[in-house]
């Protein structure tokens, strides 16, 4: 058995994978593969509608917001957010809390002025800046809720005088969020929601149509809303597997239930990192992520042998991102607590062997 701590694409529930595999051969008894049915068929329209209503239900999306399933990953949203929300000659504010935030703000510069209100670049993003002022003349304020590479996470969202735009790629559906506090939320599916190939966008309708610029159809949220995420052929398989994952989440008790589990998983793992003299955490304590737990070996020479021991135990995907080094345990929704326990036991065994 493998314990998948990979950062992205991340782990999906086993039963979801089994259902998805079946649907590739025969989709719901249609005699056709999910990969070959028309996206305009009633069978697929039902899938898309269910995916949208599960997002609304599980995330508590209020009236006045649209839910879209788009393509191009979160990286495309780095550009589409300013394309759709930043008026000609206007300004957007960004919090630079990691490399993904940096990529997002670089894309916004194609569309207008960008004010970086604060950055933690000087410390290689080990913390989330909290001391800043959001300019009231900005069209929006862009944040990254969870910094996948560095293992930091916003524990609370800033109170913003302008609409909040949030990249939630690596912690969407892992904790309760008040959607009404946001103007736009986007997330690549492939960490907590489904497979790569689909991107969730939740946008407040009344923010649209105010930029004064013409936007090509595929990049235009309003066109995508009117087309019901089907302006062109949608990524049917990725949407289907996301829908199954959301159903799995609902059956588990929804976001509040998974949040409790995620808190327990993270607490147990950080407790081991803090008490085991062979390892230390990377991020400052108050900003520690409950999705991506980054840590290093006290002695860099222990890095390779520890990864080798992990490999023997079936632990995969633990190597840290190249810009941080060490280890990164991505503990997304579908990772069971039993896998956390295997990692903890492996850390203890390593310490015992090397003392």
- Kindly tell me which of 96 and 167 has the beta carbon lying closer to ligand PLP: 167
What residues contact residue 216 under an 8 Å CB cut-off, 6+ apart? none
SS3 308: helix
| Rounded CA separation 51/54 (Å) | 5
- The least distance separating ligand PLP from the CB of residue 249, rounded to whole angstroms, comes to 19
Strands 327-330 and 292-297: antiparallel
Chain centre to alpha carbon of residue 240: 18
Does 248 participate in catalysis according to the annotation? Answer: no
- DSSP annotation of 67 reads E
Instruction: Tally the residues of the chain.
Output: 355
Token pair belonging to 83: 């394309």
Residue of 170, 174, 229, 333 that binds ligand PLP (CB under 6 A) = 170
100 annotated as ligand-binding: yes
The stretch among 163-171, 267-275, 307-315, 316-324 that binds ligand PLP (CB under 6 A) is 163-171
Quick note: the x/- pattern for ligand PLP over 54-93, rule CB under 6 A, is: -------------------xxx------------------
| Active-site hit among 18, 56, 91, 100 | 100
* Residues 219 and 201 sit within 8 Å (Cβ to Cβ): no
Q: Please choose, from the candidates 116, 123, 254, 108, the residue with its C-alpha nearest in 3D space to the C-alpha of residue 184.
A: 108
Is 8 a binding residue for ligand PLP by CB under 6 A? The answer is: yes
167 annotated as ligand-binding: yes
- Kindly tell me which of 293 and 297 has the beta carbon lying closer to ligand PLP: 293
Can you state the percent helix, strand and coil of the chain, rounding each to 5? Answer: 40, 15, 45
Burial of 197 (0-12, 13-18, 19+ CB in 10 A): buried
What residues contact residue 5 under an 8 Å CB cut-off, 6+ apart? 315, 316, 317, 318, 328, 329, 330, 331, 335, 339, 343
Does 191 participate in catalysis according to the annotation? Answer: yes
Is 211 a binding residue for ligand PLP by CB under 6 A? The answer is: no
190 annotated as ligand-binding: yes
- The least distance separating ligand PLP from the CB of residue 170, rounded to whole angstroms, comes to 4
Is 262 a binding residue for ligand PLP by CB under 6 A? The answer is: no
Token pair belonging to 299: 């002695």
The phi-psi region of residue 199 (left if phi > 0; otherwise alpha if psi is between -120 and 50; otherwise beta) is beta
Token pair belonging to 309: 């021991």
- Kindly tell me which of 37 and 143 has the beta carbon lying closer to ligand PLP: 143
Is 167 a binding residue for ligand PLP by CB under 6 A? The answer is: yes
Is 169 a binding residue for ligand PLP by CB under 6 A? The answer is: yes
Residue of 188, 234, 235, 254 that binds ligand PLP (CB under 6 A) = 188
Residue of 100, 111, 140, 150 that binds ligand PLP (CB under 6 A) = 100
SS3 200: strand
- The least distance separating ligand PLP from the CB of residue 101, rounded to whole angstroms, comes to 8
Size of the site for ligand PLP (CB under 6 A): 11
Is 125 a binding residue for ligand PLP by CB under 6 A? The answer is: no
| Active-site hit among 171, 191, 204, 248 | 191
- DSSP annotation of 321 reads P
| Active-site hit among 56, 106, 137, 167 | 167
- The least distance separating ligand PLP from the CB of residue 117, rounded to whole angstroms, comes to 18
- Considering Cα of 233, then 251, then 254, then 288, what sign does the dihedral take? negative
75 annotated as ligand-binding: yes
Chain centre to alpha carbon of residue 14: 20
- The least distance separating ligand PLP from the CB of residue 191, rounded to whole angstroms, comes to 7
Is 144 a binding residue for ligand PLP by CB under 6 A? The answer is: yes
Q: Please choose, from the candidates 289, 47, 317, 69, the residue with its C-alpha nearest in 3D space to the C-alpha of residue 193.
A: 69
Does 167 participate in catalysis according to the annotation? Answer: yes
Catalytic residues: 100, 167, 191
What residues are designated binding site?
A: 40, 74-75, 100, 148, 167, 190, 232-233
What residues are designated binding site for L-glutamate?
A: 40
What residues are designated binding site for pyridoxal 5'-phosphate?
A: 74-75, 100, 148, 167, 190, 232-233
Q: Which residues bind ligand PLP (CB under 6 A)?
A: 8, 73-75, 100, 144, 148, 167, 169-170, 188
């Amino acid at each position: 058995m493998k314990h998948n701590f990979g950062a992205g694409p991340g782990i999906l529930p086993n039963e979801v994978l089994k259902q998805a595999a079946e649907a590739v051969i025969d989709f719901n008894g249609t005699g056709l593969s999910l990969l070959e049915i028309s996206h305009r068929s009633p069978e697929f329209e039902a899938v898309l509608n269910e995916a949208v209503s599960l997002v609304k239900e599980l995330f508590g999306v209020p009236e006045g917001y649209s839910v879209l399933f788009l393509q191009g990953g979160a990286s495309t949203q780095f550009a589409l957010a300013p394309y759709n929300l930043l008026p000609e000659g206007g300004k957007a504010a960004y919090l630079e809390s990691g490399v993904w935030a940096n990529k997002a703000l670089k894309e916004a510069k194609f569309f207008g002025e960008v004010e970086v209100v604060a950055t933690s670049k000087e410390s290689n993003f080990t913390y989330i800046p909290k001391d800043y002022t959001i300019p009231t003349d900005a069209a929006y304020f862009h944040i990254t809720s969870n910094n996948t590479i560095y293992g930091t996470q916003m524990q609370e969202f800033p109170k913003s005088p302008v609409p909040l735009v949030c990249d939630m790629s690596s912690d969407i559906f892992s904790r309760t969020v008040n959607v009404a506090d946001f103007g736009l939320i986007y997330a690549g599916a492939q960490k907590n929601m489904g497979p790569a190939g689909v991107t969730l966008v939740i946008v407040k309708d009344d923010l649209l149509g105010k930029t004064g610029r013409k936007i090509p159809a595929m990049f235009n949220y309003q066109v995508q809303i009117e087309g019901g995420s089907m302006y062109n052929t949608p990524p049917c398989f990725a949407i289907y597997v996301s829908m199954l994952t959301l159903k799995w989440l609902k059956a588990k008790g929804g976001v509040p239930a998974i949040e409790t589990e995620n808190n327990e998983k993270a607490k147990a793992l950080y407790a081991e990192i803090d008490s085991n003299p062979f390892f230390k955490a990377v991020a400052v304590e108050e900003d520690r992520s409950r999705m991506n737990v980054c840590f290093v070996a006290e002695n860099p020479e222990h890095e390779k042998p520890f990864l080798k021991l992990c490999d023997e135990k079936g632990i995969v995907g633990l190597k840290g991102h190249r810009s941080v080094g060490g280890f990164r345990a991505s503990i997304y929704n579908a990772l069971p607590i039993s896998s956390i326990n295997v990692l903890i036991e492996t850390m203890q065994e390593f310490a015992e062997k090397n003392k």
